[in-house]
Amino acid sequence: MSADTPDVYDEFLDHVQQLSYVADAGGLLQWDQQVMMPEGGTPARSKQQSALSTLHHDLLTDDDLGEYLATLEDTSLDPEQQAVVREVRREHERARKVPRDLIERISEATSEALPVWEQARADDDFETYAPVLEELVDLRREYAEAIDPDRDPYAVLFEEFEPHLGLDTAERILGRLRDELVPLIDEIADSEVTQPRPFDGTYPVDEQEALVRAALDDLGFDWDRGRLDTSAHPFTSGTQFDARITTRFDEEKPLDSLSSTIHEFGHATYALGLPDEQYGTPLGDARDLTVHESQSRLWENHIGRSQAFWEHFMPTVEDHLSIEASAEDAYRAVNRVYDDNPIRVEADELTYHMHIVLRFEIERDLIAGDLDVSEVPAVWNDKMEEYLGIRPDTDAEGCLQDIHWTNGTFGYFPTYSLGSVLAAQLYDAAEAAIGPIDDAVRAGEFEDLHEWLTQNVHRHGKRYTTDALIEEATGQAYTADHFLEYVTEKYTGLYDL
C-alpha cells in the first residue's frame, strides 16, 4: 500500500469494524451466561467465548492491520480519523505482545470460573474458589508480563480499563479519598443524629421490579433499545443500539434494587448516547471506565440520592410499595451512612470508597506476588475492620461478594472511585451550563441533563483521551475538589456536623 492510496483508510476502518462486531458478539454471550443461560451450558459457552476471543485477538494482531497503521502514519488525516488510528494502534501494539494461546486460556478460565464463584458464594466456601482465583491471578500476571515485563504488572493491567489517567493518578485520588473521607465517616459515627428508616420491612420482588421499571420510565430509558433483567451481580452490557441493564432484588432491601438500577441506567444512557453512525469504530465506543463510571455514579448519587429526586419520586414509591413517608425522610434514609454494612454494592456514598481502597490494595498485592490467595479472606477482614470498623460474618459477605476477579478484571476497581470523583466535576459543569439541576429534577425533567451529557461526553466516543475529554467537558483538569466539596457539604448537613 502506498501513502496516497485513497481507499486505505476505508479498508482500515472495515477491519476495525469487524473487530468491534466480534467483541460485541462476545459481550452478548457473556450477558446471556449471567442472565439466561441454563446452568449446564458452561462447557459449551467457555469454548464459544474462547473461539470469539481468539478470533478478536487474531483480527487485532493481523499483519494487514499493522500495514494499514504503518501506511496511515504517513497519510494526512482529519482529527477524528487520527483519533481512530491512535486508539486502534494502542490496542494493536499491546495485543501483538500477547500469545494467542494465552488469550484462549484466559477466556476459558474466566468462563469456567463463573459457576464456581456463584456456588462458592452461595455456600460461603472460599476454599473451593481459591484454586480458581489463583489460576486467574497467574494468568493475568502472565498477560501483563507479555505486554511489558519491565513495568509494574498491576499498572499494565490498570491500563486495560483506564489507559490515559495513569496508575499514579489513581493512587493519588484514592489516597486523598482515604485521608479525607475516613475522618468524616468517623465524625458521622460519633454523631447523635439518627436517620429515619421508612423502608424497613418486606417488599415482594414483583412490586420492586414494577418500581424500578417506573424509575427507568421516569428517567427516560429507551426501551426500544434497552431491556431490564436480573443477575447475581448488576451490570450493563451493549451498544448504542442495544443496551441491557440487570439488577437484583432482596425483599428486605428495596432501596438497593432501586439504587443499582439507577446506577446501571447511567451506564446504559452513556451507551445509548454514543453516535449511531460511528458504531463499530472507537468514535462510537465509550471512553473507558473512569468516564463510564462517572455516568452511573452521577445518576445514582447526584440525581437518585438527591432531595429533589425524592420530592419528585416519592409518590411513585408510595403507589408501588405502599410506604407512607415524607420526601425528607426518604432522602435522609437513602443517604444514611452505614457503619455495619460489609457489602460494596449496598454501601452508602461515603463508605463505598473504603470498599474500593480495600479491593485496590488487595488486588495490587495479589498481582505483585506480595499476597497469597489463601491469605485473602483474613487480609480482607482486617482491612474492613481498619477502614470501616466492621468484620464480615462470612466470606460470602467478604471476599466472595464481587464478580470482578472471577472475570479476570484486575485493575477495574479503582475506576469506581475515579468515576465518582469525575461525576461531581461533570455535575458542576452541567449545572453551570444549564442552570439549577435540582429544580429540573424536582419537576421530573431530566432531558436537559441528558442532552448536556450527550453533547459534552457521550457523542465524542473515544475522540479524546480521558484527561482531554474531562478538560473539554468541564473546562478544567481532573480534580477531586468537586467531589470532596459535594460530600462534605451534603453529609455535614445531614448529620449536623
> Known catalytic residues?
264
Which positions ≥6 away from 150 have C-beta within 8 Å?
Answer: none
Grid coordinates 429507551 are at which residue?
222
- 365, containing H or E segment: helix 352-368
Identify the residue whose cell numbers are 437484583. 248
* Cβ atoms within 10 Å of 70's Cβ, excluding its own: 12
219: amino acid identity, one letter: L
Alpha-carbon span 443 to 237, nearest angstrom: 30
**CA neighbours within 13 Å on the CB side: how many for 447?**
2
Rounded CA-CA distance 469/107 in Å is: 32
247 bridge partner residues: 230
Rounded to the nearest 5 percent, the helix, strand and coil shares of the chain are: 70, 5, 30
d(CA 320, CA 210): 7
Backbone angles phi, psi at 229, to 5 degrees: -140, 180
- Please report where in the chains the cell 442532552 appears, as a residue: 451
**Rg (the chain; Cα; Å):** 23
Query: DSSP string spanning 208-229?
Result: HHHHHHHHHHHHT--GGGEEEE
Q: At what angle do helices 307-321 and 205-219 cross, to 10 degrees?
A: 140
Q: How many CB atoms lie within 10 A of CB 138?
A: 14
User: Quick one: which of 88, 114, 105, 104 has its CA closest to 55?
Assistant: 104
**Which DSSP category does 47 fall into?**
H
Name the DSSP class of 338: P
Q: Quick check: helix, strand or coil at residue 187? A: helix
Backbone angles phi, psi at 238, to 5 degrees: 140, -165
- The answer to whether residues 191 and 495 touch, using CB atoms and an 8 Å cutoff, is yes
Determine the Cα–Cα distance for residues 330 and 307; give it in Å rounded to an integer: 8
